[in-house]
Structure 1
Amino acid sequence: MSWQPELEELATREAMARAMGGPDKVARQHAGGRLTVRERIDALVDPGSFHEVGAIAGRAEYGPDGRLKQLTPSNCVMGRGRVDGRPVVVVGDDFTVRGGSADATIREKPIMAERMAAGLRLPLIRVIEGSGGGGSVKTIETTGRANLPGGIGGEALYQLTGDNLSLVPVVGLGLGSVAGLGAARLAATHFSVMTKETSAMFVAGPPVVNAMGGTPLGKQELGGWEIQTRSGAVDHAVEDEAEAFAAARRFLSYLPASVHEVAPRTACEDDPARAEESWLSAIPRDIRKPYRARPLLESIFDRGSFFEMGRYFGRSVITALARLNGLPVAVIAGDPMFYAGSWTADACAKVIRHVDLADTFHLPVVHMMDCPGFMIGLEAEQRATIRWGVRTMAAINQSRTPWCTVILRNAFGVAGAIHQPAGRFNLRFAWPSARWGSLPLEGGIEAAYRADIDAAEDPAAKLAEIEQRLQLLRSPLRTAEAFWVEEIIDPRRTRALLCEFADQAERLREPGRIGRGMRP
């Protein structure tokens, strides 16, 4: 006698699970321009690589004879797969079953996914659509009691969600309406993505918010991609789900599987000694004239390797991942197109998070410096910019990853002082266009030399004469003369020197957990 009857019942249950919420709900998902969770996982991982865990977990109905009539699967699909040949853990919400809410989930499944990622030291990809929290208002009636958030037995997911940020790369893909705990799981990642037309994220959705009064808001008005990427709650927005999967795969390609490894170095066909004449004139002589930093960055790092994160948040700073002769590095750069590159409170928060990412996963940092200081003015004071500034100082100084700074233009004030970690050896180069000091001369001369200017027969001429004198003294070559800066370089040598830095940094990367955990 074989166990064939049980295997046949198992196959029946698996078929019911693959049917998800049923044909009507699947059709509704497709009509909204969204894939089902199983279609998403198939598109995300390498073909045929997904090994599902807990496929037949759900709520079953039995007939009078005790035999199975119907199985409604849990609205969480999880398991292991491969992305570009590398193993990962994937956990996804099934919106076709009770709209992805906790009413239809088995909480142990997402907890198991988080534990699996930590236990096997594998990257975790969360495919999120729904709330995924403690249930809806209706849950009170169906359970006969109210859920205490984080109550007995419920704290595991909350702790694991935070702890995994210090252990493995975590990616969140918001591919529909994401609220409550779902929003928290999307934000508690190293890299998060939304689809522009079909997703929205909020602590509470429009029905709850609109019930509180005020101007009625739709999903996009309350939590669309423009709001969430500009606020920094989400890192990236794409046109469709295929682009979201591609972004997740690319992000993971720069990182190790866990903090217990280092990121792989890939083959590089781009000449490490490549030099471009355009770099010589990339920085305008007119200090009031901005320049576009991204084309410059894209040309210095390995061709096609520049991968920006958080473009619409803290816009005076650019943060990205890139490669130097195949070695993954974290990039920080000033963007003079916004506030002349001054660090706002948001820019500081952005730098902190990127430095923490680099330190957690042992990525060398390249800082392409152009910062005239912290943002000033009433709004800057209202946003506690100096508090965020000193937090940035702490994050940079606490980092232990190899660091190289190239000063392209401005380095002024306290913000200028934290262009690299203090108290340890770092590489630093400056272009001939670099300028630095406690304060920019512009605006500062009139305050410092007010008495001389007022006493002059021609105040304007006196101001010009003082400015010309100080400009000569401020030459970076004079600073190098006193060895207050190590090297002034020909901009055309930049890539070669950075690739040499990458070679040195590769030997210094040490796997293992850093002394402090990373925060979202």
Structure 2
Amino acid sequence: MDWSPEVEALRRRRAAAARMGGEAAVEKHHNAGRLTVRERIALLLDADSFEELGGLTGSVISEPDGEGEAFTAANIVLGLGRVDGRRVVVVGDDFTIRGGSSEASSQPKQRHAEQLPHEFRLPLIRLVDGSGGGGSVRELERLQRTYVPLGRYRLPTVYLMAKNLAEVPVVGLCLGSVAGLGAMRVAASHYSMMIRDTSHLFVAGPPLVGATGEKRTKEELGGASVHGTSGAVDDVVDSEAEAFSRTRRFLSYLPSSIWELPERVEPTDDPERREESLLSIVPRERRRPYLMRKIIEAVVDRGSFFEISRAYGKSIVTGLARLDGWPVAVMAGDPYTLAGAWTAQAAQKITRFIDMANTFHLPVVHLVDCPGFEIGLRGETANTLRHGARAFFAINQFTGPWCSVIVRNAFGLGGAAHQPINAPTQRFAWPSGRWGSLPTEGGIEAAYRAEIEAAEDPEAARAEIYRRLESLQSPMRTAEAYDIEDVVDPRETRPLLCRFANMAAPLRKPGPVSLTMRP
């Protein structure tokens, strides 16, 4: 006798797992505008590349007649697959089985989902569609006791999550109504997204919040309108398909782990390309903004700029791009928001972005236009100083190659952080560049108040002082003292940056960095 009966039992269980929560539950899920976990995995990964792990995990109930058994899979699907040919780990919640609640999941399987990427040095993609935490208060009746949340003996999963942030790329997708530890699984990633109209993200959902007296709908409490600008996720997209497309693109710029280097792609853009528009893109009128994103698009490889967190910390633009095929991290001031001043949100965005670039050995290109930290009551009450200091130190603790191009302003503490002090750096300035401890306009009032007030014509005195100081602020004077390495024709920026990227490539070293990434 062979093992056919057991093999047939395996087949039946796998078939039951593939049915997930059953036709009715799947239909309800589809009617809510959401894909099932298995449809998501199929759409995300390369065709036919998914290798499921733990497909037999679940619970079995014997039929009343004793002739058979009913198998219900755990509501977490885990496995290996490929994204653009590269192996990844993917784990997803199955909302069709008890709403993705952790009460129906498997803690060992959830833990293994975080352990695999760490041990095999593979990127991790989390498809989050449930609480993923300790479950509901029904657990009290099931356990007949309570427990200390996240005790060190209960849930080493959190430790593994922290290890993964320091070692492998992690993408967190909020694909439904996600709360508690599930929400932290989204936030504890290098890149996260939610879906407009169908995703909601909470520390605690409306029922629990309602018990405190605050009545909110899911959308009011944790919808895209909230987290599109809160910083809890990096981006909001219009569909799950778009989220998966952006996931694939994000990973394309990064190595599989810190033990490898980001790969170059075959260049398709001329590294010597010079854009005529750059000569006039910065207005001579210093208070007039300009489109920094147009500068970015003009200097990086065509179509390669992948912006991250556009709606959060808007005075800073961050994203990934390529220069002559080499992946780089790009940071730039946006003069359309507070003239590019660092707000508390922008500083938090900078810290996280630079830490990610450092973790995965990405050289940084910084297009500088920063008049300093945000000033005034709003800046003070938002604790801009502390968040700005963290960003300042994140930049100065960066260890990889870095190139700064001072496009316009570099003033104050924010301006002082235009490049790290302990890394291989290059620095250039455009003729439009200006720098110093304070912008002339504000500094005159502080430094020459007595002289202006004592003058017969204060306005004329102020104008004369301004004219005198302005004549000393030419970038050419700074270049004469070699306080700036070079002032360049803006049209030469792309060739310079491509040469930087090629010089930087052999300096990159795989392995861990001393300061690990945190959310």
1:98 aligns with 2:89: no
Whole-Å Cα distance in 2 between the matches of residues 67 and 61 of structure 1? 11
- TM-score normalized by the length of structure 2: 0.98
Please give the alpha-carbon distance, in whole angstroms, between the structure 2 residues aligned to 1:17 and 1:390.
51
Larger displacement relative to structure 2 (410-419 or 384-393): 384-393
After superposition, give the CA deviation of every residue in 1:461-519 in whole Å (9 maximum; x if it has no partner).
22212111111101010011111111000000000000000001100110001122211
The answer for the alignment partner of 1:197 in structure 2 is 197
Give CA deviations for 1:304-335 in whole Å, capped at 9, x if unaligned. 11001111111110110010011110111001
Give the corresponding residue for 1:331: 330
Match of 1:362 in 2: 361
Match of 1:38 in 2: 38
| Matched residue SS, 1:380 | helix
| Distance of 1:256 and 1:413 partners within structure 2 | 35
1:454 aligns with 2:453: yes
Three-state SS of the structure 1 residue aligned to 2:71 is: strand
- Give the corresponding residue for 1:162: 162
Pairing 1:97-496 to 2, within 5 Å after superposition: 97-151=97-151, 153-214=153-214, 216-496=215-495
**SS state of the match for residue 56, structure 2?**
coil
Deviations along 1:276-327, whole A, 9 cap, x unmatched?
Answer: 1100111111011011211221121111110011111111101100100111
Does residue 70 (structure 1) correspond to residue 70 (structure 2)? The answer is yes
Task: Give the corresponding residue for 1:511.
Answer: 510
CA–CA distance in 2 between the matches of 1:503 and 1:296? 20
Distance 1:309 1:96 in 2: 31
2:400–2:423 CA contact under 8 A, matched in 1 = no
Note closer, same or farther for the CA distance 1:20–1:252 as it changes in structure 2 (3 Å cut): same
CA distance in 1, matches of 2:268, 2:186: 36
Q: Letter of the aligned partner of 1:279 in structure 2?
A: L
In structure 1, what is the Cα distance between the partners aligned to 2:468 and 2:120? 63
Name the CA distance, whole Å, in 2 between partners of 1:6 and 1:487.
74
CA shift at 1:450, angstroms? 2.2
Tell me, yes or no, if the aligned pair for 1:316 and 1:341 is still in contact at 8 Å. yes
- Distance of 1:423 and 1:38 partners within structure 2: 47
Counterpart in the other structure of 1:22: 22
1:148 CA displacement: 2.6
Segments of 5+ residues of structure 2 without an aligned counterpart are none
Structure 2 CA distance for aligned equivalents of residues 372 and 358 of structure 1: 24
Alpha carbons 1:60, 1:68 under 8 Å: kept: no
Normalised by the length of structure 1, the TM-score is 0.98
Secondary structure at the counterpart of residue 110 of structure 1: helix
Q: Which amino acid aligns with 1:294?
A: R
- By how many angstroms is 1:225 displaced? 1.5
CA distance in 1, matches of 2:67, 2:51: 28
Shift of 1:459: 2.1
Secondary structure at the counterpart of residue 155 of structure 1 = coil
Rounded to whole Å, the distance in 1 between the matches of 2:64 and 2:257 is: 50
Q: Could you tell which deviates more after superposition, 166-175 or 142-151?
A: 142-151
RMSD: 1.2
- CA offsets, 1:84-122, max 9 Å, x none? 111000000000001001110011111111111111100
Distance 2:442 2:395 in 1: 29
Q: 1:68 to 1:339 in 2, by over 3 A?
A: farther
Say which SS state the counterpart of residue 365 (structure 2) adopts: strand
For 1:424 and 1:50, the matched residues in 2 are separated by: 41
**How far apart are 1:2 and its partner, in Å?**
1.3
Query: Offset at 1:388?
Result: 1.5
More displaced, 419-428 or 322-331? 419-428
User: What is the number of equivalent residue pairs in this alignment?
Assistant: 519
Matched-pair contact (CA < 8 Å) for 2:170–2:191? yes
2:8 alignment counterpart: 8
What is the CA–CA distance in structure 2 between the aligned matches of 1:228 and 1:271, rounded to whole Å?
39
Q: Secondary structure at the match of 2:176?
A: strand
User: Which deviates further from its counterpart, 116-125 or 226-235?
Assistant: 226-235
Percent identity, aligned pairs only, is 56
SS at 2:33's partner residue? coil
Q: Deviations over 1:404-455 (max 9, x none)?
A: 0000000001111111111444100000000001100112213322233233
d(CA) in 2 for partners of 1:74, 1:148: 24
